[in-house]
Structure 1
Amino acid sequence: MKFSYAIGVDLGTATVLVNVQERGIVLNEPSVVAINAKTGKVLEVGERAKAMLGRTPDSVEAIRPLREGVISDFEATEVLLRTMLDKVCHGFWYKLFKPAVMVCVPSVISAVERRAVVDACRRAGMGKVYLIREPIAAAIGAGIDITGAKGTLIVDIGGGTTDVSVISLCEPVVETTLKIAGDVFDDTVIRYVRKNYNLLIGSKTAEEIKQVIGCAYPRPELLKMTVKGRDLISGMQGEAELDSEEIRAALAEPVQEILESVHSVLEKTPPELLADISETGIIFTGGGAMLHGLAKLAGEAFNLPSALAEDPITCVARGTIKALDMPEFTRE
């Protein structure tokens, strides 16, 4: 089905991305809502709300309405989604021609949660509202033709969850979801630095460590990084020098759990589709998949071709727009 105006939304645990037809991705903001804890009034959404994390008085609470891939706060999720859509859907034409919207939702989602997402879109002035599961959107956004009877293995690592799916004929044949992803990587780094250096760091610093020197596979050369935090002994500011090899060792456990999930899915995959995967390999998508060397490690572990999709962070958002042109996902 062709739509005059179409919008795709990646409603992620860590970020919300909005993709507008013929304009591309116009919004990429954190999935955070700041509310007044006493009155329940929403104060800020997105980037401004994230800036409040760890810096708010008791009367202000900065929350993530999606946790570990599921909607934990219906009302906050609705406000988040409606606010993001309002930011990009303004002007006469959007009000006159209500855009169709395709929203990516977690693989594990209840009927009540689905209804909450649809209602939020309609309250934001959208027209037709369609929902698509995250690994399906990721595969489409990665440029994979999933309409045929051919197996494709997608490992989508977001902020809250990792989805491992074998897809054929636009549907998951074998899949699993685990609550180990980018947020767990960050938490693991925080715990490691606290235990080994008596230094307390925040999630923002942990994410920076992961991105700059973090790895799943040994780097060609050792990288070092100095980080600052609160010394747990003196209570004052302290610092520590970290290297890429110790961070690789720290992240080995959550990385191994992801690989074990891939192994479990491969074991349950029908032989015909397994033969397809031996040719097409493993495709990694999502921001968490950008951990250096993760795709290479998986390729060696399973003796399969393994690659990181182009621009993995935006795969899902790009897939939602493409899905609006596919009758498989827009049938009434």
Structure 2
Amino acid sequence: MFNLELVIDIGGGNTTIYQNKKGIVLCEPSVVAVKKQRNKLKLIAKGKEAKRLSRNRSELAPGVNIITPFSEGTVTNSEAARIMLKGFLETVTAGRFFRPNIDALVLISCGTSVVERKNIESIFTSLGIKNVTLVESPIAVAALLENPYNFIVISGATITEVAIVAPTGIITACSVNICGNSMDEAIKKYLSDQYRLVISKTRAEDLRIKLATLSDKQNIAVEVQGRDLIDSATRKIEITAEDLRKAIIGVVNNLADVIESVSMLCPDNLIEDIYHTGITFCGGLANIHGLAQHLTERLKIKVNSISDPAAPVTGGAAYFADRDRLYAMIGMNLEEKK
């Protein structure tokens, strides 16, 4: 039977599936629309269609609910997570005459508890995947880097991972919810406080993606529609990139504080290596204009951005060709895996 080697990233706002030697075969929002029938959840929509429905709730049929099964690196609804992943895997394997044996590397948060790990494993094994290996996301990114010792920051929609990684695995790390969602809430609060305008989280996310910058040299303006805070009337205002910078700067500085705290835990014998290499910054927030430069100036260490949000799954795929290295980094020997 055909073996299908997949890297599956469930840690952010999207679920990304990378097929070894082929590339990304699926990247969809980690959202489902479901309806309860006979004490079980029935899938109505998943991914992009479910997210579209979440923005247009008037289209939802009675009894249909929108669920985000993963949040901040943890499973918030196991049944919904299973239904969503089953649908995504069916999309990836569609058109195959025989159902393949799936060998899955599942990327998880470095703050995932033992209980949560078992829950994630059980979700995948319930889908018929017998070979499931859980890999912390910073370890996956490390596979892309030439240096043996790396300071890695992965910042996405729902969680940020900060880790110092060695050939033997993670030396020190933490997971925090200072992330894209935090910026979206900060943008909402800023517009409410400064302009008495109430906007949705979805609109705040759009503004962050399109307009956010840490540079004071960019001052693009866009029109934003929302509700007046006082009388709830619909109105429009013009906001600038400078507004966005003011809105998110507090979140950025909180992130810098966390990175600095982790750096304090770096073993003395690695400080020179880490300082010479710099910090590798990836995830969706790595694409915010001027953010890497701002962190470089704040932390007094070079911050190198990887603009591709799919860096963790790309790195994870490298371990299919080097199992010994992977098992050494996650504390598992080859005999245990067999």
Pairing partner for 2:78 from 61, 74, 77: 74
**Where does residue 27 of structure 2 map in the other structure?**
28
Within a 5 Å distance, the mapping from 1:155-174 to structure 2 comes to 155-174=153-172
Cα RMSD of the aligned pairs, angstroms, is: 2.1
Q: Alpha-carbon deviation of 1:10?
A: 0.8
Contact map agreement 1:166 1:173 (CA 8 A) in 2: yes
| TM-score, length basis structure 1 | 0.90
Pairing partner for 1:293 from 272, 290, 294: 290
Pairing partner for 1:175 from 173, 176, 180: 173
**Is structure 2 residue 50 aligned with structure 1 residue 46?**
no
Q: Within 2, Cα distance between the matches of 1:82 and 1:329?
A: 26
Pairing partner for 2:90 from 63, 82, 86: 86
Quick check: 217-226 or 108-117, which moved more?
108-117
**Where does residue 282 of structure 1 map in the other structure?**
279
1:101-148 Cα distance to aligned partner (Å, 9 max, x none): 1110122223343233333333434342111012212332xx2146x4
Q: Within 2, Cα distance between the matches of 1:123 and 1:270?
A: 41
Quick check: 71-80 or 35-44, which moved more?
35-44
Q: Within 1, Cα distance between the matches of 2:163 and 2:179?
A: 15
Q: Within 2, Cα distance between the matches of 1:105 and 1:93?
A: 31
Q: Give 5+ residue unaligned stretches, structure 1.
A: none
Contact map agreement 2:110 2:136 (CA 8 A) in 1: yes
Pairing partner for 2:186 from 188, 202, 206: 188
Aligned pair in 2 of structure 1 residues 222, 310: CA closer, same or farther (>3 Å)? closer
Quick check: 293-302 or 203-212, which moved more?
203-212
Code of the residue aligned with 2:296 in structure 1: it is G
Q: Within 2, Cα distance between the matches of 1:323 and 1:157?
A: 22
**Is structure 2 residue 8 aligned with structure 1 residue 12?**
no
Q: Alpha-carbon deviation of 1:271?
A: 1.8
Equivalent pairs, count: 322
1:151-199 Cα distance to aligned partner (Å, 9 max, x none): 2110110111111111111411121221110111111111211222222
Aligned pair in 2 of structure 1 residues 6, 188: CA closer, same or farther (>3 Å)? same
Q: Within 2, Cα distance between the matches of 1:226 and 1:139?
A: 41
Contact map agreement 1:9 1:17 (CA 8 A) in 2: yes
Aligned pair in 2 of structure 1 residues 127, 231: CA closer, same or farther (>3 Å)? same
Quick check: 67-76 or 3-12, which moved more?
3-12
Aligned pair in 2 of structure 1 residues 112, 74: CA closer, same or farther (>3 Å)? farther
Contact map agreement 1:11 1:105 (CA 8 A) in 2: yes
Aligned pair in 2 of structure 1 residues 91, 129: CA closer, same or farther (>3 Å)? farther
| TM-score, length basis structure 2 | 0.88
Code of the residue aligned with 2:142 in structure 1: it is A
Q: Within 2, Cα distance between the matches of 1:273 and 1:79?
A: 44
Contact map agreement 2:109 2:175 (CA 8 A) in 1: no
Q: Alpha-carbon deviation of 1:91?
A: 3.9
Q: Within 2, Cα distance between the matches of 1:113 and 1:52?
A: 29
Higher RCO structure, 1 or 2 (CA under 8 Å, sep 6+): 1
Contact map agreement 2:13 2:158 (CA 8 A) in 1: yes
Secondary structure at 2:247's aligned position in 1?
Answer: helix
Contact map agreement 2:11 2:71 (CA 8 A) in 1: no
Pairing partner for 2:222 from 201, 221, 225: 225
Within a 5 Å distance, the mapping from 1:1-332 to structure 2 comes to 4-36=3-35, 40-56=41-57, 59-92=63-96, 95=99, 97-140=100-143, 143-145=144-146, 148=148, 151-215=149-213, 217-311=214-308, 313-327=309-323, 328-329=325-326, 331=334, 332=337
Q: Alpha-carbon deviation of 1:60?
A: 2.2
Secondary structure at 1:25's aligned position in 2?
Answer: strand
Code of the residue aligned with 2:247 in structure 1: it is A
**Aligned residues with identical type, % of pairs:** 26
The runs of at least 4 consecutive aligned structure 1 residues that moved more than 4 Å come to none
Code of the residue aligned with 2:240 in structure 1: it is D
Q: Within 2, Cα distance between the matches of 1:219 and 1:24?
A: 37
1:12-71 Cα distance to aligned partner (Å, 9 max, x none): 230001111222101110001112267643321111111121533563221211122211
Q: Within 1, Cα distance between the matches of 2:120 and 2:86?
A: 9
